[in-house]
Structure 1
Amino acid sequence: MASEHAIGIDIGGTGIKGAVVDLGTGALVTERFKVRTPEGGRPRDILQATEGLLAGIAEEADGTRLPLGVCFPAVVKRGRTLSAANISEEWIGLPAEELFEQALGREIHFVNDADAAGVAELRYGAAVGVDGVVILTTLGTGIGSALINDGALVPNTELGHLELDGHDAERRAAYSAMERESLSWEQWAQRLQRYYTHLESLFTPDLFIVGGGVSKYSESFLPLLRLQTPIVPAVHRNNAGILGAASLASR
């Protein structure tokens, strides 16, 4: 396995998945390995599950010690996890990068999951060749965000937590709000309109990219939005975290 490959692992609230990535094309060069995130999402359990997943990937990759990137559903600052989304709050304040390196027996590059998705779109997807400010938002249980300026990632932006009309923006505009309140596409699009218009007023972006599982239904809601900024679905949905983490690990 040549040095133009790296391993990306994406840790989420329900699943942990990973693969070997071709860094030139963004293609997976192994199957995508996946295990369930242990119930409760506690540190020891997630570390053990990730160790088992990596063992399977390494065996498929002929045991070569490729660069390894791990993305995680938390604000990551100097290797510490400062928040916890859909995992145990025991992660808050932990030196998580160091804990993963000890458990996995190797150096890693550790990054927020939405930031990894943004890097995947920057290098292999909808943001390739786009100058200026690009904002990726993942619409799921909450709203994750990645802010990119002229190809450089500004990490840990957490734009889903902007206050809008007295509410955390993601509480009203995430895909989970549509499901929870049984909103139609049109009703949900009105909330997205409010959210993205607010982002426009703050950042004057050159491109919005919409990720998360709901992006596969983008034709049901993106045409309903009236924005100054072009808005497009993400190219890499389920694999975005893997690709971004692997790409960052290679640098």
Structure 2
Amino acid sequence: MQHILAIDVGGSHVKGTILNEQGEWQIEYKRLPTPTQARPSEVIGLIKELAQGMPAYDKVSVGFPGYVRNGIVYTAPNLGKGYWSKIHLGQQIADALRKPVRLVNDADQLGLGVVSGEGYEMAVTLGTGIGTALLINGYLLPHLELAHMPVRKDKDWDAFLGAGALEKVGKEKWNRRVQHLIDSLQVVFNYDRLYLGGGNTDKLTLKLDSNVHLFTNQDGIKGGARLWQLEDGYHISTNRPA
């Protein structure tokens, strides 16, 4: 049985664990703080540090907070502005760890770990910024950076609901904004189920509909195993060490 190093890169921490092929944890969660305005070399260094001392693993899954396609990072506005334009991060991590790597958006990886796999489902992360993933019958659809769609004249969803907004407007008003997001997503996507995760879900006080479910990042990181069960045709690219 093969084992997977599953990494979740976040705006506040880089986290990781070892999974078996069924997504079951083999060790406790490890985390390291993410530097402010993190550069690619710093993120790779943190991933290498997390990997040190871990049990043997055969491949690597990485969830990254930005727009990712075919292992290439195009944007990462909540990580380090100006440093993340067309960065071949999947290949760089593969070269650093000498293992094959699958790199996707962080919400995509987390969504894979928590959805039921039946019907049209959506995962949203509420953390430093907002992440979204769309899945049909358990398979990822092409990633959309919905967080950067305008919600008001001077704000996108990231600015409207991210950690900075929560601190500025307070929990009560922030919860009303989350409800506005849920209502908007239901109208636009007509999802069967919506999953809410991320570090700020513990601030939620809303009464959620029966098809809206909460999840933890510890649950979602199990998507690192599911990522290797998908075929390349489902918008996943494998990066191999040079």
TM over 0.5: yes
Q: Equivalent of 1:56, from 53, 57, 72? A: 53
Shift of 1:213: 1.8
Do the aligned partners of 1:7 and 1:18 also contact (CA within 8 Å) in 2?
yes
Question: SS in structure 2 opposite 1:232?
Answer: strand
Listed one character per residue, the Cα deviations across residues 50-74 of structure 1 (whole Å, up to 9, x for unaligned) are 11211221xxx2x3x4221111111
Structure 1 residues 240 and 113: CA distance shift in structure 2, 3 A: farther
What residue in structure 2 maps to residue 193 of structure 1? Answer: 179
Unaligned runs of 5+ in 1: 123-127
What residue in structure 2 maps to residue 70 of structure 1? Answer: 62
Shift of 1:134: 0.9
Query: How do residues 194-209 of structure 1 correspond to structure 2 at under 5 angstroms?
Result: 194-209=180-195
What letter corresponds to residue 244 of structure 1 in structure 2?
G
Q: Equivalent of 1:92, from 71, 85, 98? A: 85
Question: SS in structure 2 opposite 1:198?
Answer: helix
Structure 1 residues 134 and 176: CA distance shift in structure 2, 3 A: farther
Do the aligned partners of 1:120 and 1:247 also contact (CA within 8 Å) in 2?
yes
Do the aligned partners of 1:215 and 1:233 also contact (CA within 8 Å) in 2?
yes
What residue in structure 1 maps to residue 157 of structure 2? Answer: 169
Query: How do residues 108-123 of structure 1 correspond to structure 2 at under 5 angstroms?
Result: 108-122=101-115
Query: 1:152 aligned to 2:134?
Result: no
Question: Please, which moves more after superposition, 69-78 or 9-18?
Answer: 9-18
What residue in structure 2 maps to residue 248 of structure 1? Answer: 227
Do the aligned partners of 2:121 and 2:191 also contact (CA within 8 Å) in 1?
yes
Do the aligned partners of 1:134 and 1:149 also contact (CA within 8 Å) in 2?
yes
Listed one character per residue, the Cα deviations across residues 152-177 of structure 1 (whole Å, up to 9, x for unaligned) are 11132222222223231232234542
User: 1:70 and 1:79 mapped to 2: Cα distance?
Assistant: 10
Do the aligned partners of 1:6 and 1:23 also contact (CA within 8 Å) in 2?
yes
Shift of 1:100: 1.1
Shift of 1:183: 4.4
Shift of 1:212: 1.0
Listed one character per residue, the Cα deviations across residues 204-234 of structure 1 (whole Å, up to 9, x for unaligned) are 111111111232344x22x1x6x6x721212
User: 2:106 and 2:175 mapped to 1: Cα distance?
Assistant: 25
Do the aligned partners of 2:65 and 2:106 also contact (CA within 8 Å) in 1?
yes
What residue in structure 1 maps to residue 72 of structure 2? Answer: 80
What letter corresponds to residue 76 of structure 1 in structure 2?
V
Give TM-score, length-normalised by structure 2.
Answer: 0.84
The structure whose residues are more often helix, as a share, is 1
Shift of 1:199: 1.4
User: 1:14 and 1:203 mapped to 2: Cα distance?
Assistant: 29
Question: SS in structure 1 opposite 2:227?
Answer: helix
What residue in structure 2 maps to residue 6 of structure 1? Answer: 4
Question: SS in structure 2 opposite 1:141?
Answer: coil
